């Protein structure tokens, strides 16, 4: 546990001191402030537009942050062999792997808190100054929960990247692979629904539909987290946390057996 905590804290400090992290935090603050201005253009629907703008911004900057920082910190460490130094110390590879992941998650927690606090303040402000009786009402608590769910989705993406890092050597494969998993995970549900429609059934063979059906079970469903349906919001978060746990444990096992060149 001591080694895991040491690696966690070291990773968090690296991210805190990295210029890239501050750039993304700065861009996030600008985006949050822009949400107020954007709502101003939306007439009756100011609240709904502001909420959507915030949600989209958190997904955009969050995904970019996760991809860029993983590339910047982890891959550099692999390529310049700093990893050799850490793994030659008296700690298990699992401790290193999990500590590194948890360090990223700790920083993501701060990133999510920034969006929840900043976004919540902006939504309150829009509600007080621009809410219109004909506009669609926005439930503040639900919107904040949706932002928190984006944070969980980012942690899931981080877990996917770490899982890929456990066996891939090429930085490009890790980032492209991670982004591809994210893209497929956000569109899988739509693809599946399309395949069930009469047009989809006419266009694609039944075997393809079966493949997508199976993928639905094993692929990380970013779509659920980003849409956060009202019927079972906590279930979705529990699903993501279980998926993260499974990915990191499996990644640890692969990392433990990996050879470094």
List b or e across 177-205, with b for residues whose CB sees 16 or more CB atoms inside 10 angstroms.
bbbebbeebbebbebbebbeeeebeeeee
Structure letter (DSSP) for residue 44: G
- Report d(CA 241, CA 243) in Å as an integer: 5
Torsion of CA 143, 146, 148, 151, to 10 degrees: -140
Q: Would you tell me how many other CB atoms lie within 10 Å of the CB of residue 62?
A: 24
Q: Is residue 7 part of the contact set for another protein (CB under 8 A)? A: yes
Structure letter (DSSP) for residue 136: P
What minimum distance in Å lies between the beta carbon of 7 and another protein? Answer: 8
Q: Which is nearer to another protein, 82 or 197 (CB)?
A: 82
Q: Which stretch binds another protein (CB under 8 A): 23-31, 35-43, 50-58, 90-98?
A: 90-98
Q: Is residue 10 part of the contact set for another protein (CB under 8 A)? A: yes
Q: Is residue 73 part of the contact set for another protein (CB under 8 A)? A: yes
Q: Which member of 25, 71, 87, 140 binds another protein (CB under 8 A)?
A: 87
Q: Which stretch binds another protein (CB under 8 A): 9-17, 23-31, 108-116, 216-224?
A: 9-17
Contact residues for another protein, defined by CB under 8 A:
2-3, 5-7, 9-10, 13-14, 17-18, 73, 76, 80-82, 84-92, 95, 259-261
């Amino acid at each position: 546990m001591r080694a895991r905590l040491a690696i966690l804290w070291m990773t968090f400090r690296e991210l805190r001191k990295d210029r890239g992290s501050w750039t993304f935090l700065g861009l996030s603050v600008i985006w949050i402030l822009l949400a107020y201005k954007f709502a101003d253009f939306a007439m009756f629907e100011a609240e709904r537009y502001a909420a959507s703008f915030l949600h989209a911004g958190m997904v955009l900057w969050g995904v970019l942050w996760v991809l860029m920082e993983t590339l910047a910190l982890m891959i550099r460490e692999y390529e310049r062999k700093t990893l050799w130094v850490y793994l030659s110390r008296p700690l298990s590879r699992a401790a290193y792997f999990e500590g590194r992941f948890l360090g990223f998650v700790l920083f993501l927690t701060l990133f999510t808190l920034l969006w929840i606090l900043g976004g919540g303040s902006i939504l309150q402000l829009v509600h007080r100054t621009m809410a219109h009786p004909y506009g669609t009402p926005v439930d503040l608590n639900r919107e904040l929960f949706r932002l928190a769910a984006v944070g969980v989705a980012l942690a899931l993406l981080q877990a996917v990247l770490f899982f890929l890092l456990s066996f891939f050597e090429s930085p490009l494969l890790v980032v492209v692979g991670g982004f591809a998993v994210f893209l497929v995970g956000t569109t899988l549900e739509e693809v599946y629904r399309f395949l069930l429609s009469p047009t989809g059934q006419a266009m694609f063979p039944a075997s393809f539909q079966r493949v997508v059906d199976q993928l639905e079970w094993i692929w990380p469903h970013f779509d659920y987290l980003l849409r956060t349906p009202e019927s079972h919001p906590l279930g979705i978060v529990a699903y993501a946390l279980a998926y993260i746990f499974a990915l990191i444990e499996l990644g640890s096992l692969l990392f433990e057996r990996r050879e470094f060149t």
